[in-house]
Structure 1
Amino acid sequence: MPAKEAALNAPLSRPMRRRLELLGLFAATALLLARPDLATLAAGLGLFLWGMSHLEEGVKRLSGGTLDRWLHNATRSPARAIGVGALATALVQSSSLITLLAMSFVGAGLVSLAGAIALLFGANLGTTTGAWLIASVGLRFDLAHYAMPLLALGLLGNRLSSGALASIAGLVLGIGLLFLGIDFMKLGFETWQDGLRLDDLGGNRLWHWPLFVLFGIIATVVMQSSHATLLLTLTALASGQLPYLPALAIAIGANVGTTVTAVLGALAAGAAARRLAGAHVVFNLVTAAIALVLLMPLAWLVDVIAAISGMAATAWPLKLALFHTLFNLLGIVVMLPLIPRLANALERRFPEPARLPPAQARYLDKAALEHADTAVAAMEQECQRLNRRAYHLLCTAILLPSADVIGHPPQRETVDTSIDPTAWPAVNVRYHERIKPLLAEILAFHSLIDTPLTDEQRTHLDNLRDQTLRMVEAVRFGEVLQRSLLRHSARTSPLRDAHDDLRLALALGLNRLAEEPEASDIGNPVQTVRYRWQRELAERLRQQRLDPWLASTLMNDLHQVSRLIAALAASPQAQ
């Protein structure tokens, strides 16, 4: 019996899953072939979703990071964040894009959680403009008439152009697909004019409302687009297949369904992105609960506003769009004063790890790869972490505490003190523990960045990578130097005086670099010491005061120090 239960509970094998997928595909194909009206409806929905993806991608490529910077600057005050979030979502017609962008900002440490939460509130409000556009334009005009030339221009532009023109062509193609999808949806519902009636579920019983809310949630989760759910609802409402009040409940469910995108995006992200996803879920659930409880009063308020504004009493799609906007506004009014408390509660619920492993990246979340500015910011901050570690490791390489090098000019007395070789960890060991694994993560992250970048951003990323590699190169030179310094650390060693001069010169260069990362003269003390000891070596060899073997060792050390400082001079150091 246990064996049977284990077999039942075991996950399906890959061949079995493939067979089930093929079976489902054949069943769906058979159903669509048997029901042309359903096939038309499905085709319209597919074209609409395809158009949304082209529209979103075109906006991302055309903005070239401008949208990212705009949203980043907007999070400095809650009111501004809500307004800009709403406007940005209205322009790009994708609350999912704004949500993932806000998650990237938080994950990369660019904005506070409270500011990103306010941005999400605005995105929820901005997404209601989609219902207005569909209700006021999409359902009133023959969009197929305009879709064909847009599709032709978009397809030709994508094939024959590049750069900004290709991005514009992608936008045109997306709009054409949206128009064609809406027209197909209208045509599909018109064929169901007498075959599908939901009048019996008009809200006469208490269980009707949760049922329609659940339908809105499921539809949005399956299609990954609240716009698609609202399009489906609005076309059904306009064609008479769906009563007005159930349509309002479906719109509430569509709002809740959008949280799935945020949750999925946060699964592979850090604690900061999970907090924002939690805020999105809380806001949409609270807003949906308020809207569902106040459904009838809100419907009455919609009728009053519609009558005052001159809207026809039977303009159900426009009334649905108005209802969608009203209950999102109500949610913002209720939740806005609670943003600080919500942020604090989420920070307690999703705390940062008490201590990250030394080699683990902190800012390289997958969510940061979605957008240009967040990818660049994540690279910047992680490269700064690696550079700080490399900086302290270089102090270890020259056998000086970093506290005696950073923050104030190094003193000769510190360099002259006795050296205990057992007190200094090997640079090679620390490099493989703390530097190399982090470098591997940085290089892997850089290779995965395929979001549209401006020339300036692309150059900046390449410079970050190259500077980091040169900093690591300096550490490797320091590793060789440390071995020699430790071998000749005794006060009686013939090389100790020269080594102390080199250590002090390098410490001065590191100190200068810490104070002025762009300084170009950090190698001056090293060059001065090198030239002096090259002359001193020649003199001591002529006078037979220094063994040639030791002289060659010192010449090699002088060379290693010159290579080390040259690498640092090309690698601006984060403080």
Structure 2
Amino acid sequence: MGADAKARRLGRLALFGLVALAALLLARRDLATLAAGLGLFLWGMSHLEEAIKRLSGGTLDRWLHAATRRPLRAIGVGALATALVQSSSLVTLLALSFVGAGLVALPGAIALLFGANLGTTTGAWLIASLGLRFDLAQYAMPLLALGLLGGRWLKGNQAGIAGALLGIGLLFLGIDFMKLGFAAWQDGLSLEGLAGDRLWHWPLFVLFGVLATVIMQSSHATLLITLAALAGGQLPYLPALAIAIGANIGTTVTAVIGALGGGPPARRLAGAHVIFNLGTACVALGLLVPLAGLVDLLGRLLGLADDAWPLKLALFHSLFNLLGIVLMLPLIPRLAAWLERRIPEPSQRPTAQARYLNPTALTHGDSAVTALEQEYRRLDRRTYHLLCSAILLPSAEVIGHPPTPAAVATPIDPRAWPTVDSRYRERIKPLLAEILDFHARLDVPLTEAQEQRLEELREASLRLVEAVRFGEVLQRSLLHHAGPRDPLRQAHDALRQALAEALNRLASEAPATAIAAPLAAVRRQLQRDLAQRLKAEELSAWQASTLMNDLHQAQRLIAALSEPRAGEPPRESASDAASPT
């Protein structure tokens, strides 16, 4: 009851807060206009981001992935991608999903985030140069109409275009409402007393920028408020620069939140993002006055008016982010190494725990497919090791080098071999359950090739389970006839030798015909011997039928693993597969 009572109190407080806020907005039309503008702007950003995800169909993912091989290229592509999609959050989540799924190395992902920080400054330029100078409402209405109607009538990529138009229309309308709201404050609010002569105010404005960005989850929204207040004369120039610095720090919350459910690689990248933005902010705040002077000098060289404060703020935003990149670029390898030491991989990991299926990998198609491919390879290797147990041979005698007849002829102690079913429930089924659950939770736009690849992986996983079930039946018979004097022991040893060679070739990525060849040869030989042994009464009809059934189970096991093979992911090399995971 205590928890229920607390929840009810919180609910009443929230309701009271909403009622109080509604009363305030009804009493103050200027505040209501500002709030409406901010809400429309954030709503438009959300629509635009979703539309870009749908339109890119994995293209943006592959583009950014390819760029991370070289730091300078990663910075450039990260900046360009963020400038095009106007969402550093999207690029940040992509980078987190890449590094979490093992698609890219940490240094490349760090460089990509550096570029995203630079690219996000283009939003300030667009707002300052266009949003505050033109009447965007007249363009917003047609875009809203096209976006709403197109979203209802169109499908596929065309619906993505309609979503983008709707998002841009909401952005334009939000900017226009923000301008109207600040215009209403023109004579009623002035912060000129907080100009640059009071240095202790600057950290407070930095803190305001951080909090505003964290609350609104958008540095663009914080900069929009700042630029509108600066253009309307409600905010002095130097405090506005300090707010821009704070907005830069606030963008790290996306990386931090995105990394909470991720593994160590994602947490390392989030740490790098925080370190870079905090370091850049400290340098920019310490050099605020010199940087403001440099902005004035560059403004005159670019032909900006002395009172073009919004454009100067945009220039400052770009300048201090560029300064941070110049300072931090040579330190990327050391930063990555330090983070890897500070946030190591867990020393012990549950045997059935997936390594790559973290929530950040679900955000985009390429990272999700890559994560599933890597987990499938782990499932693949575990299945090989379990099937070695099914034929009563240590995996070290099968995978990594051709199996020897001496290892097959070793006396068998049935008590030393756990059942296939118990090992399956311990090592295979939990991992397979995580793979299937991850697949079911994947809800992002996928290309046709990605959908086909996911279907191939799912089918391959089910074939592995099918092979394990055949191995379970086979192991029971092998254990039952494991005695050295058992009439079936010699035939079973030949069958085990053939299966061991087939598993070895599977791990070595041999063609399907080569994999099936040892078993086919043994099957022909045993069928000839079977007739002779029946005539000589060395085997009973019951024992002969048992051997035929075992041959059939072995054939079905190898067929499940080797057919079809065209769509399956690359097999591990023999050396990789030699050690179980």
* Inter-partner Cα distance in structure 2 for 1:355 and 1:18: 42
| Residue number in structure 1 paired with 2:265 | 272
- What SS is found at the alignment partner of 1:351? coil
| Residue number in structure 1 paired with 2:381 | 388
Q: Which runs of 5+ in 1 are unaligned?
A: 1-6
| Residue number in structure 1 paired with 2:81 | 88
- What SS is found at the alignment partner of 2:515? coil
1:148–1:517 CA distance, 2 compared to 1 (3 A): farther
**Does residue 465 of the first structure (1) align with residue 462 of the second (2)?**
no
* Inter-partner Cα distance in structure 2 for 1:502 and 1:418: 16
| Residue number in structure 2 paired with 1:4 | none
Contact 2:487 2:538 in 1 (8 A): no
- Which segment is superposed worse, 107-116 or 218-227? 107-116
Query: How many Å apart are 1:539 and its aligned residue?
Result: 4.5
* Inter-partner Cα distance in structure 2 for 1:556 and 1:18: 67
Contact 1:512 1:519 in 2 (8 A): no
| Residue number in structure 2 paired with 1:567 | 560
| Residue number in structure 2 paired with 1:45 | 38
The correspondence for 2:331, drawn from 313, 338, 344, is 338
* Inter-partner Cα distance in structure 2 for 1:518 and 1:529: 19
| Residue number in structure 2 paired with 1:178 | 171
* Inter-partner Cα distance in structure 2 for 1:228 and 1:343: 31
**Does residue 525 of the first structure (1) align with residue 518 of the second (2)?**
yes
Query: How many Å apart are 1:531 and its aligned residue?
Result: 4.1
Alignment of 1:212-227 (within 5 A): 212-227=205-220
The amino acid of 2:176's aligned partner reads D
RMSD of aligned Cα (Å) = 1.7
**Does residue 65 of the first structure (1) align with residue 58 of the second (2)?**
yes
Contact 2:509 2:571 in 1 (8 A): no
* Inter-partner Cα distance in structure 2 for 1:287 and 1:253: 11
Contact 2:76 2:115 in 1 (8 A): yes
Query: How many Å apart are 1:245 and its aligned residue?
Result: 1.0
- Which segment is superposed worse, 322-331 or 72-81? 72-81
- Measured against aligned partners, the alpha-carbon deviations of 1:74-116 in whole angstroms (never above 9, x if no partner) come to 1111111111111111111111111111111111111111111
- What SS is found at the alignment partner of 2:537? coil
* Inter-partner Cα distance in structure 1 for 2:41 and 2:510: 51
| Residue number in structure 1 paired with 2:189 | 196
Query: How many Å apart are 1:14 and its aligned residue?
Result: 2.4
- Which segment is superposed worse, 257-266 or 20-29? 20-29
Contact 2:508 2:571 in 1 (8 A): no
- Which segment is superposed worse, 511-520 or 164-173? 511-520
| Residue number in structure 1 paired with 2:158 | 165
The amino acid of 1:115's aligned partner reads G
The amino acid of 1:374's aligned partner reads S
The amino acid of 2:51's aligned partner reads G
Alignment of 1:94-113 (within 5 A): 94-113=87-106
The correspondence for 2:115, drawn from 105, 113, 122, is 122
- Measured against aligned partners, the alpha-carbon deviations of 1:422-457 in whole angstroms (never above 9, x if no partner) come to 332322221111111111111100001001100110
* Inter-partner Cα distance in structure 1 for 2:356 and 2:431: 11
The correspondence for 1:514, drawn from 507, 516, 539, is 507
The correspondence for 2:489, drawn from 472, 496, 506, is 496
Contact 2:463 2:560 in 1 (8 A): yes
| Residue number in structure 2 paired with 1:243 | 236
Contact 1:394 1:478 in 2 (8 A): yes
* Inter-partner Cα distance in structure 1 for 2:525 and 2:174: 79
Query: How many Å apart are 1:417 and its aligned residue?
Result: 2.9
Contact 1:517 1:574 in 2 (8 A): no
| Residue number in structure 2 paired with 1:440 | 433
The amino acid of 2:451's aligned partner reads R
Query: How many Å apart are 1:31 and its aligned residue?
Result: 1.3
The correspondence for 2:341, drawn from 343, 348, 352, is 348
The amino acid of 2:134's aligned partner reads F
- What SS is found at the alignment partner of 2:512? coil
* Inter-partner Cα distance in structure 2 for 1:374 and 1:195: 52
Q: Which runs of 5+ in 2 are unaligned?
A: 573-581
* Inter-partner Cα distance in structure 2 for 1:401 and 1:382: 23
- Which segment is superposed worse, 183-192 or 397-406? 397-406
* Inter-partner Cα distance in structure 2 for 1:272 and 1:518: 36
User: Structure 1 vs Structure 2: percent identity of aligned residues?
Assistant: 71
**Does residue 544 of the first structure (1) align with residue 541 of the second (2)?**
no
The amino acid of 1:41's aligned partner reads L
| Residue number in structure 2 paired with 1:3 | none
Query: How many Å apart are 1:523 and its aligned residue?
Result: 2.3
- Measured against aligned partners, the alpha-carbon deviations of 1:106-145 in whole angstroms (never above 9, x if no partner) come to 1111111111111111110000000001111111111111
- Which segment is superposed worse, 394-403 or 454-463? 394-403
- What SS is found at the alignment partner of 1:242? coil
**Does residue 293 of the first structure (1) align with residue 286 of the second (2)?**
yes
- Measured against aligned partners, the alpha-carbon deviations of 1:237-288 in whole angstroms (never above 9, x if no partner) come to 1111111111101000000111111111111111111111011110010100
- What SS is found at the alignment partner of 1:13? helix
Contact 2:140 2:169 in 1 (8 A): yes
| Residue number in structure 1 paired with 2:576 | none
Query: How many Å apart are 1:401 and its aligned residue?
Result: 2.2
Query: How many Å apart are 1:411 and its aligned residue?
Result: 2.9
Alignment of 1:249-328 (within 5 A): 249-328=242-321
* Inter-partner Cα distance in structure 2 for 1:16 and 1:503: 69
Query: How many Å apart are 1:535 and its aligned residue?
Result: 4.7
TM-score after normalising by structure 2: 0.95
| Residue number in structure 1 paired with 2:146 | 153
* Inter-partner Cα distance in structure 2 for 1:14 and 1:527: 68
Contact 1:68 1:371 in 2 (8 A): yes
* Inter-partner Cα distance in structure 1 for 2:4 and 2:127: 43
* Inter-partner Cα distance in structure 1 for 2:398 and 2:153: 58
1:236–1:517 CA distance, 2 compared to 1 (3 A): farther
* Inter-partner Cα distance in structure 2 for 1:74 and 1:518: 35
- Measured against aligned partners, the alpha-carbon deviations of 1:334-392 in whole angstroms (never above 9, x if no partner) come to 11111111111111111110121101111111011011111111101011111111111
Alignment of 1:402-481 (within 5 A): 402-481=395-474
The amino acid of 1:385's aligned partner reads R
Query: How many Å apart are 1:483 and its aligned residue?
Result: 1.6
* Inter-partner Cα distance in structure 2 for 1:314 and 1:413: 89
Contact 2:52 2:160 in 1 (8 A): yes
